[in-house]
């Protein structure tokens, strides 16, 4: 044994080869936390001191290789300032440079995910052999930063500028075939042959059959581009990356800047440029927000797995009631993820619609090469369309997805309960109706909860699991386990009108209605909120949700929270509804929708909208972008704060992610609570005071006032 620690070991193999073996004790994966970085420095000291070595093999003792840096350490680091950040990148850069400059060749055996720093250490090695089940990539731009341990320097010099920029800017994970084709790895081997192929490659390099010195010279030299080539290359790439990334995500464009600045430099100079770019991005609010989203997602996953461990049984057979677009989507997602499902409706036309929906989604997977036709047939055959309750006594969970009508749901739930086993979980996909109210129809309310999917089911990650007053832990656990199995992000919330997401969405819509009432142009409001980061503005969003659905939900919310959500004027949305303008579902709402060449509805503004809403819209008034944002966001922020204070949702992280995954809240802002922390509660309080005349939904909550008084934040 040449070196041993709880993070890695170095042993001497036959043929005077040293093996650097990463195996972080007490963790399921290898990662570059500060402990591992320190131990790598010590290991390299030992390797350099060992006499007679002729080659180095780098391996992992985990199912994955190395997943990158320890993101949990980023929060404190990024808040410490640029100098400390450069120190952080400098330590491991020194390690990787030493590894690259050893007086003999090195080969890495990539047995699983090698991401971020895990791939950067691979790039520092002379040769890379990749398992057929592995993936490699540099995903740092997803966190609002760029690679900090040589990724922007070595990768362009290995695979070329264009390819490297696409790899880094898009933060994608590359499969072995793509990595081999690009030249990022030198060989691909089956898992059981990986070590043998890596050792053979290393021995060939030791024997002089592979020129590792030329590899090192390539990674340490300027990019082989003259001034004219560089100007054309970087101008084109920068334009393309900027267009794809959008104005709110600076990291991808910074990647291009860093590579361009360092194109004529040697390794050391280029690494300094990269370190400066990393530090510059790391102190931005975008990086703080995106790192926060990553860590919150880890928390959400941990809580979901905790619930799943409490489940009394696995969900091996499911059922859905109602076979429309929503029911068909639920059936598709369940079957696609390996849980057979019965799809019941009261008529054959409904079943046909549900099957068409599932077939359409599966056909897209086949067309895109993500699924074979035989696999599609297998998935479709696991959806059992039925007009009866036959076999329902053997299902583990039933999701009710019938029309959003309390009387209908009561009747269906009561009828279904009589057809299922005594321990089967019954869940309602209601979007607004109280779970406690629906439970009144049941004899076993402890087995009942809400399971609110978002439309379209296959695309929207969030599932709200709503706990009623009598819902048992067992019912919640099994429902969360089913959501996990379906590949969804489950957030457990308590019952209240609108639950969490819709409860905070409708005050946002109310803000929009008040702006139109006061003379704002609905198109202008949409454009401002889209520039702020929302995927669509409020008028467009209402069209997509469905005007009829929106009006119904608004009535439920007004009844549940009359002091804040009962409006004393007719809204533009209600005018749309009265004129049978229901949005995308019937081709016209605030906007008109005509299918484009691909069959997708294209939004077009029409003068008739202004004519219809004229009686309820004030004299046209120009509002500043800042005022529009404040008037839209304050009601959402105060309502979300109320939900946290009332215990509807347990943590700011879960609340923020629910809006990211359920509504498309802009990730670069990190969520509503993260946004309030970023701008400061003093800013929020000033806006609240300015717009206090608009009603109670603009007032700070008691909890917000307390935080303002003692200077604390949500995170």
* Helical (H) or strand (E) element with 335: helix 325-336
**What are 439-477's pLDDT values in tens digits?**
999 999 999 999 999 988 999 999 999 999 999 999 999
- Place 621 in a pLDDT band, splitting at 50, 70 and 90: very high
**For 684-713, what is the mean pLDDT?**
97
**What are 213-233's pLDDT values in tens digits?**
999 999 999 999 888 888 888
Residue 452 annotated to the active site:
yes
Give bridge partners of residue 11 from the DSSP assignment: 19
The catalytic residue among 21, 39, 410, 452 is 452
- Place 50 in a pLDDT band, splitting at 50, 70 and 90: very high
Please report the pLDDT score of residue 673 as a whole number: 98
CB count in 10 Å sphere of residue 297: 16
Neighbouring residues of 596: CB distance < 8 A, sequence distance ≥ 6: 602
Question: Model's pTM, two decimal places?
Answer: 0.92
Q: Is the peptide bond before 456 cis (omega within 30 degrees of 0)?
A: yes
CA distance 541 to 338: 32
CB count in 10 Å sphere of residue 521: 17
User: Between the CA atoms of 407, 411, 414 and 415, what dihedral angle is there, to the nearest 10 degrees?
Assistant: -170
Residue that is written with structure tokens 């832990």 in the block: 473
Look at 439-448, 556-565, 590-599 and tell me which has the smallest mean pLDDT: 590-599
* Helical (H) or strand (E) element with 460: none
Answer positive or negative: Cα dihedral of 380, 386, 392, 394: negative
**For 176-201, what is the mean pLDDT?**
97
**Structural domains in the chain, sorted by start:** 3-283 (3.90.226.10), 301-495 (3.40.50.720), 501-710 (1.10.1040.50)
For the chain, how are helix, strand and coil distributed in percent, rounded to 5? 55, 15, 30
**What are 316-336's pLDDT values in tens digits?**
999 999 988 889 999 999 999
**For 530-534, what is the mean pLDDT?**
97
Mean pLDDT across the chain: 95
């Amino acid at each position: 044994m040449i070196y041993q620690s709880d993070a890695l070991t170095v042993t001497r193999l036959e043929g005077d080869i040293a093996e650097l073996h990463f195996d972080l004790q007490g963790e399921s994966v290898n990662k570059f936390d500060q402990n591992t970085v320190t131990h790598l420095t010590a290991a390299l000291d030992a390797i350099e001191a060992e006499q007679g070595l002729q080659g180095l093999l780098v391996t992992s003792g985990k199912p994955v290789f190395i997943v990158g840096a320890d993101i949990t350490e980023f929060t404190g680091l990024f808040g410490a300032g640029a100098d400390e950040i450069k120190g952080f990148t400098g330590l491991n850069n020194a390690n990787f440079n030493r590894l690259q400059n050893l007086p003999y060749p090195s080969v890495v055996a990539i047995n699983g995910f090698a991401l971020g720093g895990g791939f950067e250490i691979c790039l520092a090695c002379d040769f890379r052999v990749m398992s057929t089940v592995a993936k490699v990539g540099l995903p740092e731009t997803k966190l609002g930063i760029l690679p900090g341990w040589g990724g922007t320097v070595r990768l362009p010099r290995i695979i070329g500028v264009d390819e490297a920029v696409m790899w880094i800017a898009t933060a994608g994970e590359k499969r072995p075939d793509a990595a081999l084709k690009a030249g990022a790895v030198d060989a691909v081997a089956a898992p059981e042959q990986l070590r043998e192929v890596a050792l053979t490659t290393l021995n060939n390099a030791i024997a002089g059959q592979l020129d590792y010195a030329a590899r090192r010279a390539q990674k340490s030299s300027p990019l082989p581009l003259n001034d004219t080539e560089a100007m054309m290359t970087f101008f084109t790439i920068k334009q393309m990356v900027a267009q794809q990334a959008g104005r709110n995500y600076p990291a991808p464009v910074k990647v291009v800047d860093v590579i361009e600045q360092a194109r004529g430099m040697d390794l050391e100079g280029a690494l300094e440029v990269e370190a400066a770019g990393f530090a510059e991005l790391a102190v931005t609010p975008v990086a703080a927000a995106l790192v926060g989203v990553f860590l919150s997602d880890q928390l959400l996953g941990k809580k979901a797995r905790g619930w799943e461990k409490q489940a009394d049984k696995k969900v091996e057979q499911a059922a859905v009631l109602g076979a429309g677009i929503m029911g068909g989507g639920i059936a598709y997602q369940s079957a696609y993820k390996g849980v057979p499902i019965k799809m019941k409706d009261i008529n054959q036309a409904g079943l046909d619609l549900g099957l068409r929906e599932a077939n359409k989604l599966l056909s897209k997977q086949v067309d895109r090469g993500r699924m074979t036709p035989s696999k599609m047939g297998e998935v479709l055959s696991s959806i059992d369309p039925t007009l009866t309750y036959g076999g329902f006594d053997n299902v583990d969970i039933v999701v009710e997805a019938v029309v959003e009508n309390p009387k209908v749901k009561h009747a269906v739930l009561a009828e279904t309960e009589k057809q299922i086993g005594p321990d089967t979980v019954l869940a309602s996909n209601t979007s607004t109706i109280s779970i406690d109210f629906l439970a009144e129809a049941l004899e076993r309310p402890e087995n009942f909860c809400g399971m609110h999917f978002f439309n379209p089911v296959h695309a929207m990650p969030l599932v709200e699991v709503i706990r009623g007053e009598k819902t048992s832990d067992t019912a919640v656990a099994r429902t969360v386990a089913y959501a996990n199995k379906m590949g969804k992000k489950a957030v457990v919330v308590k019952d209240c009108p609108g639950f969490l997401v819709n409860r905070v969405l409708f005050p946002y819509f109310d803000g929009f209605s008040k702006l139109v009432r006061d003379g704002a142009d609905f198109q202008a409001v949409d454009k401002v909120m889209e520039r702020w980061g929302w995927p669509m503005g409020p008028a467009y969003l209402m069209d997509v949700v469905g005007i009829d659905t929106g009006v119904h939900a608004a009535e439920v919310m007004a009844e549940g929270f009359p002091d804040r959500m009962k409006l004393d004027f007719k809204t533009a949305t209600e005018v749309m509804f009265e004129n049978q303008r229901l949005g995308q579902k019937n081709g016209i709402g605030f906007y008109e929708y005509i299918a484009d060449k691909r069959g997708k509805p294209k939004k077009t503004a029409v003068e008739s909208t202004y004519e219809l809403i004229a009686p309820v819209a004030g004299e046209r008034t120009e509002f500043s972008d800042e005022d529009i944002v404040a008037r839209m966001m304050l009601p959402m922020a105060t309502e979300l704060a109320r939900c946290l204070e009332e215990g509807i949702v347990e943590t700011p992280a879960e609340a923020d992610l629910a809006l990211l995954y359920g509504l498309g809240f802009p990730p670069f802002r990190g969520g509503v609570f993260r946004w309030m922390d970023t701008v400061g509660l003093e800013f929020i309080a000033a806006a609240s005071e300015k717009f206090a005349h608009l009603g109670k939904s603009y007032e700070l909550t008691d909890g917000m006032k307390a935080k303002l008084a003692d200077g604390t934040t949500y995170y």
